[in-house]
Structure 1
Amino acid sequence: GYRRWLERALDYSWMAVVAVVALSLLAVWLTQRLPTEYAPAEDRGAFFILLRAPEGASLEYMDRYARQMEGILLDEVGDSESVRRFLTRLPGSWGGAEVNSARSIVLLENWDIRDESDREIGSRLRGRLDELPGVRSFVSHGSSFGMRQDSRPVEMVIGGPDYEQLQQWRDELLAALRNVPELVNGDSNYQERKPQINIAVDRDRAAVLGVPLLSIGRTLETMLGSRQVTTYIDRGREYNVILMGRETDRSSTDDLTNLYVRSERTGDLIPLANLVRISETAGPSRLNRHDRMRSITIEAGLADGVSLGAGIEAMLQAANETLPAAARISWDGESKEYLESGGSLYLTFGFALLIVFLVLAAQFESFVNPLIILVTVPLAMTGALLGLLFYGSSINVFSQIGAILLIGLSAKNGVLIVEFANQLRDRGMAFREATIDAAVVRFRPILMTSAATTFGALPLLLGTGAGWESRQPIGIVIVFGVAVSAVLTLFIVPALYHLFARNTSSPQRVSRIIEQLQRGTAAEKSPAE
């Protein structure tokens, strides 16, 4: 059976080189075809809902919509529903003075009880929340490593000299993103939606009328804001005395006509409206910086079926075509983690491959034998990528970790064949026969160890419950990689050994020559004595 097929394979050893090249090219093609992301979407059993109203919305306005959101969530709570309970926070911001948001933390039933995933439930709730007029709804889910995934995972940070220039670049890039099919719902964190009143003092007129700028500033501070003027002590406690206008006297810009300041020259009261110019504008609620530079973050969601890697490439291409060279481009959030983790894991994979090669080179005292053994790595990678394609999975942190494990799991099969072939050659067996016998003798150990590894990883592949989305890529890579590598190793490694290792020597050759010389020297000394 196997010996007969192996003998035929050795007659066409050069075909093993063609097979290795073809499988390596297939692996490269699969790498480009498979979607890439930082970490797979994971059902954490909870998600967040954020309602955001226009800037300047009052607490009463937000409370009304928060109660409507709670009514929608109450419809999902029950014995036959998927939501166990929820908690609403108003305002939804974690600090700051903004009151135009509300946040709910939704806790789901156990994975064994509900039939829907957290994303299916969140999508259904988002559809109902989008029907609320006057607010925008956002649903964010947890992912692996404790990161929060929202509806816009592609985050590009644009840095520049000033916010006026950044605002212009933002508008140009958002206009370009509308024509990018991979991205949807483009937006930025620089929103000119907060109402502002700019008051400019007519300095010349104030000087003519004898009104100092300090009086104008103190009047505006006291009537439109508040000002601490003194303190008083009551029963051993000190209290601040704060002056401020009544809310009814500062509800609109027309109330400024009722404010007066006293002239130091004449002592008369002069209407404040005669000394200032009022303009109503809209500005951002806060000014952001990234790496100590003024910045605006452009966010976008992914279209259906588009991976995070493809979305990042699409946004980067649009930015390169739209923004000038003076714009500094960086990444934030999940996009940043994806780019940094991808590069570091590929570097780790390369170092692991190099270390294995150096260890094998030291063991075999040859560079040819380790290269033959490490041919099993691209074979295993091809099987792993085929498994990811079959399951519709992606290349992420967990699948890359599994790929690093495959280096050792696949290389051990080649070590079994090459090491035993060298031992048979040391015993004086012919090169071809040593190659065939080594593969035949090691046939059962290779299959048994590979089967044990494969069955040991099946729980990762087939398991369900909490966190299965992150465990499954590792199981796919190990099961498919080890299975494909074991089958191909039984033919390709002996064929390559037969083709390239003919002129190599055994690692024990030098030690045996030294032993022979020592025995010969000892034999010559004995007769002489």
Structure 2
Amino acid sequence: SLSLFALVLAVGIVVDDAIVVVEAVEKHIRNGMAPREAAHQTMKEVSGALIAIGLVLVAVFVPTAMVAGIPGIFYRQFAITIAAASVISLIVSLTLSPAMAALLLKPHHDVDTHSGPRWMRPVKIGAEKFNQGFEWLSDRYGRFTGRVIRMGVIMMILYAVLLALTGWRLNSTPTGFIPEQDQGFLIGVVQLPPGASLERTSEVMGRAWDIASKTEGVTGGASFAGLDGASFSAASNSGVMFLKLKDWSERGKEATADALAGKLTGALGGAIDGANIFMIAPPAVQGLGNGSGFVMMIQDRSANAGYRGLEGATGAMMGAAMQEQKVTQVFSLFNTGTPRVRADVDRDRAQLLGVQPQQVFDAIGTYIGSTYVNDFNLLGRTFRVTAQAEPAARDDITDIGRLQVRSTSGEMVPLSSVATFVRDSAPSRVVRYNLLPAVELQGAAAPGVSSGDALAAMEAMAAKTLPQGYTY
């Protein structure tokens, strides 16, 4: 769409260069020159101006293609299209336009409206009247322009008034980033309680897909268990659905993407218990975020309360957003309820037993997670060797304590001798923004509210709601 916008502007530039040449040739022909001679004289007069126009346009738009960040994403195609069209327009105006003008334009002569067929007389009279009226208008416009130019002070005052009006309207107009678009598909975010198994998530995803795929306006799609639809990260208690909608012409004005998203969210929430399911629209520009709307990063600058304090600050923002009419669907999937086992290593005792603390951490990482060892070839195939404890040996917290690590004396020491294992909970995914612990708070502007006003409302809300030590 940006390239199409660039082409619309480029058409004006292309036509403008051609008009400069044709108008100049026509002026010389009106003064009595032959078309060929008029074309030569025109190119002597306007060639430098045309080249200057083209170089200025290229110099203005080419650097825009090198801008980094989001502005660069938006205007790179725009800049390249305008610059290329300007160069082509310059070449055409210097070569094809004067040649065509010399061939097609004819010397001026008085039109005899009474000659020729009778049915052509009204056409000739109308054309003659139009030319007379246009010449009169051009003459009056030229005189008015000349008179206005001599009134410099008055015109500067009017110009200042226009600038003031422009600034007033610019400041009073709601700001926005990218308007929401009906792109023909929706993203379904499914979240189960923290620590839910992948099998349970798959079962819920199957039920949710059966309901969503049979909804009027949905033609197909796909669902994935174990993938967080808001952040697109792996999580056993999360899932995502991609729903393809019917063509807009078949759905009609009532079944927009937003309307279907609300309908599906209500239907899935009422039919499936034990899961949080809602629909979001895709980002207006592919690659710019994971969904539509906005993202506010809640940061913990003090780090005194840990991730639970960050969870509380995020929950307070979500609660305040429910009372704000300018925003809607403000949510965050961050929570500290994912089960985990915390290992508290007694470093002094580990040193006495001849075990370095790093050995304990490495052993836990290998037993509970895995460690790549090497590859070996057998019968023409390559096999990877990965060290990991058997599932039966790491099924319970007591099993972890029975796992062993080798000491400096060569003896095997149980992990329970140097570490205490405690059941705990924590976030399944940790986000850092500007090197600080952060949480993604997502949302969208309410219908009829610009994104600029929605962001301003969120900023004001954060200033009132966030505790000391937290920012955004």
Normalising by structure 2, we get a TM-score of 0.53
Question: Displacement, 1:49?
Answer: 1.4
> Could you report, residue by residue, the CA deviation over 1:3-49 in whole angstroms, capped at 9, with x for unpaired residues?
xxxxxxxxxxxxxxxxxx9xx99x969985x8654344332222221
Query: Are residues 1:178 and 2:319 paired?
Result: yes
Query: Are residues 1:109 and 2:252 paired?
Result: no
Residue of structure 2 in register with 1:88 after alignment: 223
Residue of structure 2 in register with 1:38 after alignment: 177
SS in 2 for 1:273: helix
Question: Displacement, 1:200?
Answer: 2.0
Residue of structure 2 in register with 1:259 after alignment: 403
Structure 1 contact 138–150 (Cα < 8 Å) conserved: no
Question: Displacement, 1:127?
Answer: 0.8
> Could you report, residue by residue, the CA deviation over 1:153-196 in whole angstroms, capped at 9, with x for unpaired residues?
34323445465568546634642663443245544464324333
Residue of structure 1 in register with 2:464 after alignment: 321
CA distance in 1, matches of 2:438, 2:178: 27
SS in 2 for 1:178: helix
CA distance in 1, matches of 2:250, 2:299: 48
Distance 1:170 1:112, change over 3 A: same
Residue of structure 2 in register with 1:18 after alignment: none
Residue of structure 1 in register with 2:347 after alignment: 203
Query: Are residues 1:191 and 2:339 paired?
Result: no
Structure 2 contact 188–277 (Cα < 8 Å) conserved: yes
Amino acid in the other structure paired with 1:315: M
Distance 1:149 1:307, change over 3 A: farther
Amino acid in the other structure paired with 2:385: V
Superposed, which structure 2 residues align to 1:18-417 within 5 Å? 37-76=176-215, 81-93=216-228, 97-115=234-252, 116-131=255-270, 132-142=272-282, 144-146=284-286, 153-159=293-299, 161=301, 163-164=303-304, 168=309, 171-172=312-313, 174-175=315-316, 178-179=319-320, 180-182=323-325, 183-184=327-328, 186-188=330-332, 190-213=334-357, 216-261=360-405, 267=411, 270-291=413-434, 294-302=437-445, 306-323=449-466, 329=472
> Could you report, residue by residue, the CA deviation over 1:477-527 in whole angstroms, capped at 9, with x for unpaired residues?
xxxxxxxxxxxxxxxxxxxxxxxxxxxxxxxxxxxxxxxxxxxxxxxxxxx
SS in 2 for 1:98: strand
Structure 2 contact 302–470 (Cα < 8 Å) conserved: no
Distance 1:227 1:313, change over 3 A: closer
Structure 1 contact 91–99 (Cα < 8 Å) conserved: yes
SS in 2 for 1:60: helix
Distance 1:36 1:174, change over 3 A: farther
CA distance in 1, matches of 2:300, 2:261: 37
Question: Displacement, 1:56?
Answer: 3.5
CA distance in 1, matches of 2:446, 2:319: 12
Distance 1:148 1:70, change over 3 A: farther
CA distance in 2, matches of 1:173, 1:243: 39
Distance 1:208 1:44, change over 3 A: closer
Question: Displacement, 1:106?
Answer: 1.5
Structure 2 contact 220–245 (Cα < 8 Å) conserved: yes
Amino acid in the other structure paired with 1:134: G
CA distance in 2, matches of 1:187, 1:284: 16
Amino acid in the other structure paired with 1:58: S
Question: Displacement, 1:259?
Answer: 2.8
CA distance in 2, matches of 1:260, 1:140: 48
**Which stretch shows the higher mean deviation, 150-159 or 315-324?**
150-159
CA distance in 1, matches of 2:449, 2:468: 28
CA distance in 1, matches of 2:422, 2:242: 40
Structure 1 contact 256–272 (Cα < 8 Å) conserved: yes
Structure 1 contact 158–166 (Cα < 8 Å) conserved: no
Distance 1:318 1:210, change over 3 A: same
Amino acid in the other structure paired with 1:45: G
Question: Displacement, 1:296?
Answer: 3.3
What is the aligned residue count? 304
SS in 2 for 1:138: strand
Structure 2 contact 281–292 (Cα < 8 Å) conserved: no
Distance 1:171 1:302, change over 3 A: farther
CA RMSD of aligned residues (A): 4.2
Question: Displacement, 1:68?
Answer: 0.7
Structure 1 contact 162–294 (Cα < 8 Å) conserved: no
Distance 1:247 1:48, change over 3 A: same
CA distance in 2, matches of 1:173, 1:87: 31
Superposed, which structure 2 residues align to 1:499-518 within 5 Å? none
CA distance in 1, matches of 2:239, 2:221: 13
Question: Displacement, 1:215?
Answer: 5.5
Structure 2 contact 283–290 (Cα < 8 Å) conserved: no
> Could you report, residue by residue, the CA deviation over 1:230-287 in whole angstroms, capped at 9, with x for unpaired residues?
54331344433323222122122121243345666695x6543232111233333333
Structure 2 contact 283–293 (Cα < 8 Å) conserved: no
The runs of 5 or more residues in structure 1 that have no matched partner are 1-20, 330-529
Distance 1:277 1:95, change over 3 A: same
Residue of structure 2 in register with 1:425 after alignment: none
Question: Displacement, 1:327?
Answer: 5.7
Amino acid in the other structure paired with 1:102: G
SS in 2 for 1:232: strand
Amino acid in the other structure paired with 1:103: V
CA distance in 1, matches of 2:259, 2:195: 33
Distance 1:91 1:176, change over 3 A: closer
> Could you report, residue by residue, the CA deviation over 1:43-97 in whole angstroms, capped at 9, with x for unpaired residues?
2222221212344433212211111112102322xxxx42222222344358754
The runs of 5 or more residues in structure 2 that have no matched partner are 1-160
Superposed, which structure 2 residues align to 1:443-462 within 5 Å? none
CA distance in 2, matches of 1:148, 1:137: 23
**Which structure is higher in RCO with an 8 Å CA cutoff and minimum separation 6?**
1
Residue of structure 2 in register with 1:440 after alignment: none
Amino acid in the other structure paired with 1:128: A
